[in-house]
Amino acid sequence: MAKTYINIPVTDEEKARIERADATWTGPKLIVLLAITLGTALVVLWLAANGHIVPQHS
């Protein structure tokens, strides 16, 4: 695992939290998250463009 370079003073607790986050969010997980987010955005845009999602007038 690559070491994270931290250029600001942090406590040992904060350093441990950063290292846990770096270990959790690997490249493949971020790519999957990106694909899901992009897919969701495109579906919402398509639904809005085709009138399936319209503002409600009261």
pLDDT at 2: 56
Task: Give this prediction's pTM.
Answer: 0.65
pLDDT band (50, 70, 90) for residue 29: very high
| Residue type (1 letter), 28 | P
Residues 6+ positions from 10 with CB-CB distance below 8 Å? 18
Task: Evaluate if residue 6 carries a pLDDT over 90.
Answer: no
Nearest of 29, 26, 6, 30 to residue 16 by alpha carbon: 6
